[in-house]
Amino acid sequence: MIKSYAAENGRLRSIEDGPERLETAAWIDLLSPTPEEESFVEGKLKINIPTRAEMEEIEVSSRLYLEDEAAFMTATMLAHTDRDDVVISPVTFVVAGPRLITVRYDDPRAFQVFPQRAEKSALGTTSPHGILMGLLETVVERLADILERAAREIDGISRNVFQPTVTASKKSRDFQKVLEGIGRKGDLLSNIRDSLMTFERLFAFLDQVVPKSEDDPAVRTRLGSLVHDGRFLTHYADFLSQKNAFLLNATLGMINIEQNAIIKIFSVAAVVFLPPTLIASVYGMNFEHMPELDWLLGYPAALVLLVVSAALPLWFFKRRGWL
């Protein structure tokens, strides 16, 4: 799919017959382009559109480069963050002459928000670098929103793990869900950190690409703000990852405590019933000459001895604080 936008009074306006008027577009957005659409754009604009395989290469030289006076910059972005099946996919930004070109194979939320925002409010500048700055600012804002939501969910997991009013059996049933939630947050934070790392490289490369003679001097100021925000979000993502790892260790520790408590109960029960079992085993012998067999009070005395032999270990354990 080919989407194109024209600059008009400092705003972006969607071009209805975009494919036929690519030369007048300020921003061309290729969403999951077919080989025919790629060839069409390449023929119209005289540039090479990277394939998906080329976009997924991890070498810096394959993601950030100059070709025929056009700057190619590829970063990874998150999509479907509102669901459990979060997708991370590459997005390529191309600054070629008077226009910005984006190539993507998924639909991150930023690409839905930015066109609506750029249509309602002025961008300040409609140069390709100005449009790119606005789009990157939306991307960073979206990453910040995702991190804020992840922080709230991690706080909820923390309260669930350390909540003292829940019974042991209930906590044991919930620990699997807690571990699943911690695992999902770990994957999400890992993907966010990967995305931020690629954008930090993109910002550094863009700082060398944006000309000093840019029409709007605020573009470089905005780029500096993006660099600062990207570093802050990276540090914040690292902090949340450490907190998530702490919760994982704490949850595993809680599971060990619950298991140890269960084992302790069985151990105490075994010790408590050991003396009565020994007494019952002795008097269960089938020897002919046993003095107590003819004793009138032998049976009640044996019962009392069984109870006392079981009560004494319980009293000893409680006195020592083991129960």
According to the per-residue pLDDT averaged within each range, which of 8-22, 71-85, 189-203, 300-314 is highest?
189-203
What is the residue-averaged pLDDT of the chain? 81
Phi/psi for 27 (5° steps) reads -140, 125
- Res 233: pLDDT: 92
Exposed e or buried b per residue across 239-278, where buried means at least 16 C-beta atoms within 10 angstroms of its C-beta: ebbebbeebbebbeebbeeeeeeeeeeeeeeeebeebbee
Question: Could you give all domains of the chain from N- to C-terminal order, each with its CATH number?
Answer: 2-258 (3.30.460.20), 259-319 (1.20.58.340)
Q: Is the dihedral of CA 235, 93, 73, 71 positive or negative?
A: negative
Read off the pLDDT of residues 227-272 as tens digits, 9 standing for 90 and up. Answer: 999 999 999 999 999 999 998 998 888 888 777 877 877 777 777 7
Q: What type of residue sits at position 216?
A: D
pLDDT band at 97 (very low <50, low <70, confident <90, very high): confident
Contact between 214 and 100 under an 8 Å Cβ cutoff? The reply is: no
Range 191-209 average pLDDT = 88
Cα–chain center distance at 307: 57
pLDDT for residue 224 is more than 70: yes
The amino acid at 9: N
The whole-angstrom separation of Cα 249 and Cα 251 is: 5
Q: Starting at the earlier edge strand, list the strands of the sheet with 11-14.
A: 11-14, 2-8, 27-31, 99-104, 87-96, 70-79, 64-67
pLDDT score at 211: 65
At 69 the pLDDT is 80
Q: What is the pLDDT of residue 164?
A: 59
| CB-based contact 248:180 (threshold 8 Å) | no
Sign of the CA dihedral with 244 first, then 250, 256, and 261 last: negative
**Which amino acid is present at 122?**
A
Range in 52-61, 96-105, 170-179, 250-259 with the lowest mean pLDDT = 170-179
Answer whether residue 315 shows pLDDT above 60: yes
Contact by Cβ (8 Å): 200, 230? yes
pLDDT at 213 over 50: no
Higher pLDDT, 310 or 139: 139
Decide if pLDDT at 215 tops 80. no
Q: What is the pLDDT of residues 120-176, one digit of tens each?
A: 776 666 778 888 888 899 999 999 999 999 999 888 888 888 875 555 455 555 788
- pLDDT at res. 242: 92
SS3 (DSSP) at 164 = coil
3-state helix, strand, coil in the chain (%, to 5): 65, 15, 20
